[in-house]
């Protein structure tokens, strides 16, 4: 199955309401543009007004008249994430698709105001809390979908100690950052698979994907990121359209409206087997319970 159809061959019968995080850069922005072309009503989260304005202008250029609602939020501020989720739910009693795409690859440790490592807060805790806040809305909107961007970078995580790693704020170097980033993507995959189990039978399809290697703004903290991206694009390496197409596929392809609990590759929609402990239902449940306990103060 080819989940990316650049000619827009996957039709939308109505104007679905699609919330996508991290849509002002990279594959998230490309996905938002494609979804706008397909007739979606978009809800975007953004941190920068300038980037949000540019994204909205780009959407208007490719799909004039597309309804776009922007909610500004810093995903490292978990209380703000919950407030934003509640504001979105109040404004939109129906949400057809939630796309958890926002992500950060930091090359040094930063600790958030809540006392968590920034990468875990942005990539995992914020995703968990936003989805939890909108869970009731998504169930009431069924058939609906939740799409989460994971990554095969999870295989670089070196495993997971749930009790320890969620609270790990130890310093790391740029070289050591890949393991921490991979850990956050492992958490996202485990989150998605456990949520799929919990929502089985509700007609909410919950799936996640690895977008592959993409030349996007994810590595913007590296001084050489921009020239590197120029060279890689020239060589045809890391084209972000593939990752964006996978996101759009999971959000719109009828096959993924029926499929739930999948972790797939952007390259060919092949089902992927996640690395341990994401392959363990017991570990996924334990992670969910521990996360629920840790984030109770924000809910």
Tell me which residues are annotated as active site: 181
Q: At what angle do helices 49-62 and 26-37 cross, to 10 degrees?
A: 30
**What's the rounded Cα separation, in Å, for the pair 266 and 181?**
19
For the record, the structure tokens of 20 come out as 């996508």
Q: Which two tokens stand for residue 284?
A: 């996924």
Helix or strand holding residue 249 (H, E): helix 240-252
Report the run of H or E that residue 206 belongs to, with start and end.
strand 204-210
Sequence-separated (6 or more) residues with CB below 8 Å from residue 89? 95, 133, 134, 136, 137
DSSP letter assigned to residue 274: P
Neighbours of 23 (CB within 10 A): 31
Q: Which of 41, 31, 28 is nearest to 3 (CA)?
A: 31
């Amino acid at each position: 199955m080819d989940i990316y159809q650049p000619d827009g061959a996957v039709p939308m019968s109505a104007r679905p309401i699609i919330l996508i995080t991290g849509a002002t850069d990279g594959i998230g922005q490309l996905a938002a543009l494609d979804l706008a072309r397909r007739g979606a009503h978009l809800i975007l989260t953004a941190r920068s007004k300038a980037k949000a304005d540019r994204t909205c202008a780009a959407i208007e250029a490719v799909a004039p008249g597309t309804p776009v609602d922007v909610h500004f939020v810093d995903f490292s501020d978990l209380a703000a994430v919950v407030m934003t989720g509640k504001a979105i739910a109040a404004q939109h009693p129906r949400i057809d698709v939630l796309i958890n795409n926002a992500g950060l690859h930091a090359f040094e440790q930063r600790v958030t105001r809540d006392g968590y490592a920034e990468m875990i807060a942005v990539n995992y805790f914020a995703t968990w809390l936003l989805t939890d806040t909108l869970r009731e809305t998504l169930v009431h909107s069924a058939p609906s979908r939740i799409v989460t961007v994971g990554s095969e970078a999870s295989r670089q995580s070196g495993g997971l100690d749930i009790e320890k790693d969620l609270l790990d704020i130890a310093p790391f170097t740029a070289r050591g950052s890949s393991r921490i980033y991979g850990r956050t993507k492992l958490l996202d995959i485990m989150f998605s698979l456990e949520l799929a189990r919990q929502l089985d039978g509700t007609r909410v399809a919950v799936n996640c994907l690895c977008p592959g290697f993409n030349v996007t703004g994810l590595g913007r903290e590296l001084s050489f990121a921009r020239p590197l991206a120029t060279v890689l694009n020239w060589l045809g390496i890391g084209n972000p359209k593939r990752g964006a197409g996978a996101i759009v596929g999971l959000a719109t392809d009828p096959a993924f409206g029926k499929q739930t609990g999948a972790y797939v590759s952007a390259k060919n929609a092949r089902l992927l087997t996640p690395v341990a402990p994401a392959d363990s239902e017991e570990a996924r449940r334990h992670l969910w319970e521990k996360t629920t306990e840790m984030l109770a103060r924000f809910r």
